[in-house]
Amino acid sequence: MTVHLTRGTQPRPGHRRVTALLGRHPVGLALMAPYAAYLLLVFAYPFGFAVWMSFHDYFFAAPGAQVERPFVGLENYRTVLGDPGVRQAFGNILVFLLINVPLTAALALTLAVALNQAIRGRTFLRVAYYVPYVTASVAVVGVWLFLFSSDGLVNTLLGPLAPDPSWLVNETLAMPLIAVFVAWKQLGFFILLYLAALQNVPKELYESAAVDGAGAWQRFRSVTVPAVRPATTLVVIVATVTGANLFTEPYLLTGGGGPNGASTSPVLLMYQRGLEQGAPDVAAAIGVLLVVGVVALSMINRRLLERS
Amino acid sequence: MSTRTLGAPETAPAVEPVARRRTGTLGRVLRAAALTAFALAFLFPFYYMFIGSLQAEPDTSPAGAFPTGGLTLGNYREINAEIHLLRSLVNSGIFTGGVILGTVVFGLLAGYALAQLSFRGRGALFNLVLLVQVVPFQLLLIPLYVLIVRGYGLADSYLGMILPFLINTTAVFVFRQFFLQLPPDLFAAARVDGASELRILWSVALPLVRPALLTVVLLTFIGPWNEFLWPFLITKQTDMQPLAVSLANYLSNVAARAANPYGAVLAGACVLAAPAVALFVAFQKHFTSTNIGSGVKG
């Protein structure tokens, strides 16, 4: 076997040049080709196209028609920033993220720690926490509409304490409610991430903390939280990116971002401006601004979280 | 971590005995109570969805959540008359099946190449894969719409629906992670015997990563099956719409006209949720942190 292997790894003279040029297994390039083509076609090219579009006067023309699409500099960005609807949508998504992201990270970590220690009923608990994550948003939106309608179960239970106007038609409450709803929906996935991180926490740390007389809460604060910090960074960034993608919930729960645009999200606005009102260049500019915002937020979060 | 010990860390207690003894009985009872309370809060909307789909009249009183009789399948008939459930389910199935097929075939090839083969540009390609995970889909929405609908004329087609999701990047990571755990000697020996890479992949590698295959299918399934925004943008013909889209359109346009709109919507929601939930419950062992966490972290 060893002899064979040595002979096998020594390139024959004719192959030496190919090896130098393409590596030991040039066939790898062929195996990667479909995926690489997919990445270029569906991600890299549209990405460049979006940025290009946001600097040009782009509009939908009849198929096959040759039309001029002049460079307009920052014109589209001026339109976007001067639009109060856009500013409101970005404000809304900020409110959403401020509620959704900390809530998600805190609940996911707490439940993951508890789940990690629970012995009985672990399968049942895991299934319960993950089920909302594997279910379609459109399906769970149906039951949330039913629960939170003005004469729904939640208001019936609250009786005189029910908010007026009701949850989804209340300008102050609509967006926070959507933030809580999305946290509930996505929590299972983030619990999964934390569970993976918890497997790697050295047990000796808990041992020495226990020897030092640390209680459960102190062990959680001084051992668990610092040990899973890299996972927290990941959770916060993924939750921010997912949250910035918000579309289905405001589109369906609040009838397209209502009341009075109080729950409009930037992606919903991209759909309305770009496809309903036929201004894809403006929509592309909203997209670029949104991505710049998300990247900036992620970098700030990372800085804050990795500072020990 | 070998393929045989997958999921094992989840069943092994993570806290050693000293710490556990200190938690005490009261603490454990409290923790169990809190965990169960949360679990019920997570499950209640699903229970309510199901019960609501069986009630002829919406009953929003607390007692209405626990009806003693009068359950009916009328809501399912109602929603079926409005959106043709079977047709929508078939569309969802083709959309999802196409994505799973593309992900398994091309993702397997890519995962194997990234983990076990050395070729020029592998590092650069892997960096590209990492980069793609950071590009948010919302930025690509408009250009993809322009390209696929206006450029290639793929509106109202399965191909147009599938294309942006054809290969699930998380699945590529999961495959790569599994292949990294296999000893390279295994493949070197097969190569010496003169087997081609495709043959090695098919008869040596594939049987060894069967657990990964199931994880990938589960993981990939929930993407397109639950996806709303993209198929919503590109399908205008109702007979091409996946169930998530036709149900959402019913919800936002038609529901107001129905006798019991909530009942019909909840019936549709149950039909949409059932396959994903059933698959997940049946195979939940494969949906563990070890399987997927490693993939997500790269």
**Mind listing the pLDDT tens digit for each residue in A201-228?**
888 888 888 888 878 888 888 889 988 9
pLDDT for residue A63: 67
- Ranges A89-93, A240-244, B12-16, B182-186, most confident: A89-93
User: B262 vs chain A: nearest CA distance in angstroms?
Assistant: 7
pLDDT for residue A144: 92
Decide: residue A24, CB within 10 A, 0-12 exposed, 13-18 middle, 19+ buried: middle
pLDDT for residue A183: 96
Q: Which helix (H) or strand (E) holds B43?
A: helix B17-53
- Per DSSP, B287 falls in state S
Q: Is residue A109 over pLDDT 90?
A: yes
- Out of B36, B112, B228, the one facing A138 most closely (by C-beta) is B228
Q: Is residue B18 over pLDDT 80?
A: no
- Out of B60, B142, B266, the one facing A274 most closely (by C-beta) is B142
Q: Is residue A58 over pLDDT 60?
A: yes
A158 in B contact zone (CB under 8 Å)? no
pLDDT band at B23 (very low <50, low <70, confident <90, very high): low
Cβ–Cβ < 8 Å for A80, A285: yes
- Out of B62, B140, B248, the one facing A47 most closely (by C-beta) is B140
- Out of A130, A197, A287, the one facing B139 most closely (by C-beta) is A287
CA atoms within a 13 Å half-sphere pointing along the CA-CB vector of B228 = 24
Q: Is residue B199 over pLDDT 60?
A: yes
Interface contact A140-B39, CB threshold 8 A: no
Residues in chain A within 8 Å Cβ distance of B118: 23-25, 28
Helices B169-180 and B289-297 meet at what angle, rounded to 10? 110
% of chain B at pLDDT higher than 90: 37
pLDDT band at B1 (very low <50, low <70, confident <90, very high): very low
Domain locations along chain B: 84-245+273-297
Return the number of other C-beta atoms located less than 10 Å from residue B206's C-beta.
Answer: 14
SS3 for B71?
strand
Longest dimension (CA), chain B: 73
User: B232 vs chain A: nearest CA distance in angstroms?
Assistant: 10
Instruction: Report in angstroms the alpha-carbon separations of A238 from A231, A298, B204, B277.
Output: 10, 9, 36, 23
HEC-encoded secondary structure of A72-131:
CCCHHHHHHHCCHHHHHHHHHHHHHHHHHHHHHHHHHHHHHHHHHHCCCCHHHHHHHHHH
Contact residues, A window 37-66, toward B, CB-based 8 Å cutoff: 38-39, 42-47, 49-50, 53, 60, 63
Q: Is residue B15 over pLDDT 80?
A: no
Q: Is residue B212 over pLDDT 50?
A: yes
For B119, the closest chain A residue by CA position comes to: A23
pLDDT for residue B297: 46
B80: its two tokens: 């079926």
Q: Choose between B135 and A47: higher pLDDT.
A: A47
Interface contact B35-A130, CB threshold 8 A: no
Mean pLDDT of chain A: 87
Q: Is residue B43 over pLDDT 90?
A: yes
A155: its two tokens: 């208001």
- Out of A128, A143, A290, the one facing B39 most closely (by C-beta) is A128
Closest CA to B247 of B282, B278, B272: B272
Q: What span, in angstroms and rounded, lies between the C-alpha atoms of B139 and B164?
A: 13
Q: Is residue B17 over pLDDT 50?
A: no
Q: Is residue A6 over pLDDT 70?
A: no
Per-residue pLDDT, averaged over A175-201, amounts to: 92
Residues in chain A within 8 Å Cβ distance of B55: none
Q: What span, in angstroms and rounded, lies between the C-alpha atoms of A254 and A263?
A: 7
Q: What span, in angstroms and rounded, lies between the C-alpha atoms of B273 and B225?
A: 9
Residues in chain B within 8 Å Cβ distance of A32: 109-110, 113-114, 119, 122, 125
Q: What span, in angstroms and rounded, lies between the C-alpha atoms of A267 and A288?
A: 11
| Region of residue A61 (phi > 0: left; psi between -120 and 50: alpha; otherwise: beta) | beta
Q: Is residue A14 over pLDDT 80?
A: no
Residues in chain A within 8 Å Cβ distance of B167: 34-35, 38
ipTM value of the model?
0.86
What is the topology classification, in CATH, of domain B84-245+273-297?
A: MetI-like fold (1.10.3720)
- Ranges B154-168, B199-213, B248-262, most confident: B154-168
Q: What span, in angstroms and rounded, lies between the C-alpha atoms of A253 and B228?
A: 14
Residues in chain B within 8 Å Cβ distance of A136: 225-226, 228, 244, 272-273, 276
pLDDT for residue B90: 96
Mean pLDDT of chain B: 83
Q: Is residue B13 over pLDDT 80?
A: no
Torsion of CA B34, B38, B44, B45, to 10 degrees: 160
Cβ–Cβ < 8 Å for A32, B109: yes
- Per DSSP, B5 falls in state G
Q: Is residue A179 over pLDDT 70?
A: yes
Interface contact B120-A46, CB threshold 8 A: no
A144 in B contact zone (CB under 8 Å)? yes
pLDDT for residue B255: 63
pLDDT per residue as tens digits for the range B69-114: 778 898 899 899 888 899 999 999 999 999 999 999 999 999 999 9
Is the peptide bond preceding residue A165 cis, with omega within 30 degrees of 0? yes
Residues in chain A within 8 Å Cβ distance of B23: 117, 216
